[in-house]
Structure 1
Amino acid sequence: MLSDIERLAQAFNCAERVLIITGAGLSADSGLPTYRGVGGLYNGNTSDGLPIEAALSGPMLQRDPALCWKYLAELGRACLGAQANVGHQVIAELQRLKPQCWLLTQNIDGFHRAAGSPDDRLIEIHGQLAPLYCQSCGQQEDDLAGRLTEQLPPLCRHCAGILRPPVVLFEEMLPERAISTLYEQLGEGFDLVLTIGTSSSFAYIVEPVLRARAVGAFTAEINPARTGISDSVDVYLAGRALDVLPELLSHISVNRICKSSP
Structure 2
Amino acid sequence: MSSDEGAGRPLVAILSGAGISTDSGIPDYRGPSGLWRRDPDAEKLVTYDFYMNDPDIRRRSWLMRRDSAALTARPNRAHEAIVALERAGVPVRVITQNVDGLHQAAGLPDRKVLELHGSARSVLCTRCGARTATEEALARVAAGEDDPACRECGGILKTATVMFGQSLDPEVLAQAVTIARASDVFVAVGSSLQVQPAASLAGMAAEHGARLIIVNAEPTPYDDVASEVIREPIGEALPALLDGLAR
The TM-score bracket by the shorter chain reads 0.7 to 0.9
Residues 76-101 of structure 1 deviation map (CA, whole Å, 9 limit, x = unaligned)? 53212321111111112222334531
The answer to which of 241-250 and 189-198 deviates more is 241-250
Tell whether 2:116 aligns with 1:125.
yes
From 211, 221, 224, give the equivalent of 1:231.
224
- 1:65/1:93 CA distance change after superposition, 3 Å: farther
Rounded to whole Å, the distance in 2 between the matches of 1:221 and 1:35 is 19
CA RMSD of aligned residues (A): 2.3
From 191, 195, 199, give the equivalent of 1:198.
191
The aligned residue for residue 260 of structure 1 is none
Tell whether 2:104 aligns with 1:110.
no
The aligned residue for residue 5 of structure 2 is none
Contact 1:221 1:235 (C-alpha < 8 Å) held by counterparts: yes
Q: Name structure 1 gaps, 5 residues minimum.
A: 1-13, 257-262
Q: Following TM superposition, by how much is the alpha carbon of 1:242 offset from its aligned partner in structure 2, in angstroms?
A: 1.1
Rounded to whole Å, the distance in 2 between the matches of 1:147 and 1:33 is 25
Q: Which amino acid aligns with 1:19?
A: A
The answer to which of 194-203 and 88-97 deviates more is 88-97
Contact 1:90 1:249 (C-alpha < 8 Å) held by counterparts: yes
Rounded to whole Å, the distance in 1 between the matches of 2:224 and 2:63 is 37
Rounded to whole Å, the distance in 2 between the matches of 1:233 and 1:68 is 41
Equivalent residues in 2 for 1:33-182 (5 A)? 33-46=27-40, 50=41, 52=43, 54-71=44-61, 73-75=63-65, 77-142=68-133, 143-149=136-142, 150-182=144-176
Contact 2:13 2:180 (C-alpha < 8 Å) held by counterparts: no
Describe the SS at the equivalent of 2:199. Answer: helix
The aligned residue for residue 239 of structure 2 is 246
- What TM-score do you get using the length of structure 1 for normalisation? 0.81
When the two structures are aligned, how many residues end up with a matched partner?
Answer: 236
- What TM-score do you get using the length of structure 2 for normalisation? 0.85
Q: Following TM superposition, by how much is the alpha carbon of 1:180 offset from its aligned partner in structure 2, in angstroms?
A: 2.4
Q: Name structure 2 gaps, 5 residues minimum.
A: 1-7
Q: Following TM superposition, by how much is the alpha carbon of 1:65 offset from its aligned partner in structure 2, in angstroms?
A: 3.8
Rounded to whole Å, the distance in 2 between the matches of 1:219 and 1:81 is 32
Q: Which amino acid aligns with 1:214?
A: E
- 1:70/1:239 CA distance change after superposition, 3 Å: farther
The answer to which of 20-29 and 234-243 deviates more is 234-243
- Higher RCO, Cα 8 Å, sep 6+: 1
Rounded to whole Å, the distance in 2 between the matches of 1:148 and 1:85 is 29
Rounded to whole Å, the distance in 2 between the matches of 1:78 and 1:220 is 29
- 1:69/1:192 CA distance change after superposition, 3 Å: farther
Q: Following TM superposition, by how much is the alpha carbon of 1:139 offset from its aligned partner in structure 2, in angstroms?
A: 2.9
